[in-house]
Amino acid sequence: MYKRRIKYGALSRDNWHTLNGLPSVVREIREIAALVKPEFSAWLVGGILEDRDTQDLDIILTGPYRPERIQFLLKEIVIIGFTRGVFIDVKYSVSGELFVPSQYNTSYGKKTYLYATYQPEIEINGKTFQYGIWKDGLWQSTQRLPLTKGYSSQDPIQLF
């Protein structure tokens, strides 16, 4: 467990589970599968794919552009995480693209990806991070990858 006050929309929580590998999130993955299958695909990315502790479960959804359904799924997945004490960083890939480390070449530079998130901002330990704008029925934001702080060397894994 670790302490971090996270406020995301109307949800807030102070205590979170430290995660390490897929066995630490089996219950959450089952709940997410029940929500999104078969219409959408869910991809695991980030630290959960490595043999190390991580503080969040990074998931990217792909599938048809249905803003109301996407917003519903993002919200429900975030609620699952807050209920279980597992911070789930879930996004919907607006273009359907994923960052695949094995296909990345440093000479390419960074690439911009367009994502939709549950809310346009998040507050962590009293500091607010604003990143989303309302566009075409979703809170959208861009992210340039790979991140400067480093990134997982593992390619995304499709859950379903």
Amino acid, res. 120: P
Structure tokens at 73: 């799924």
15 phi and psi, to 5 degrees? Answer: -115, 130
Element (H, E) at 68: helix 67-84
Band (pLDDT 50/70/90 cuts) for residue 56 is: very high
Band (pLDDT 50/70/90 cuts) for residue 103 is: confident
Q: Bigger pLDDT: 107 or 4?
A: 4
Q: Residue 30, SS3?
A: helix
Band (pLDDT 50/70/90 cuts) for residue 111 is: confident
CB neighbours (10 Å) of residue 21? 14
Report the 3 state secondary structure along 70-108: HHHHHHHHHHHHHHHCCCEEEEEECCCCCCCHHHCCHHH
- State pLDDT tens for residues 124-151: 999 999 999 999 999 999 998 877 665 5
| pLDDT-above-90 percentage for the chain | 86
Q: Looking at residues 13-33, what average pLDDT do you find?
A: 97
| Residues 6 or more apart in contact with residue 105 via CB below 8 angstroms | none
Confidence (pTM): 0.94
pLDDT at 5: 98
| Contact indicator for 81, 28 with CB cutoff of 8 Å | yes
Is the pLDDT score of 96 beyond 60? yes
Question: What is the residue-averaged pLDDT of the chain?
Answer: 94
Structural domain boundaries in the chain: 2-158
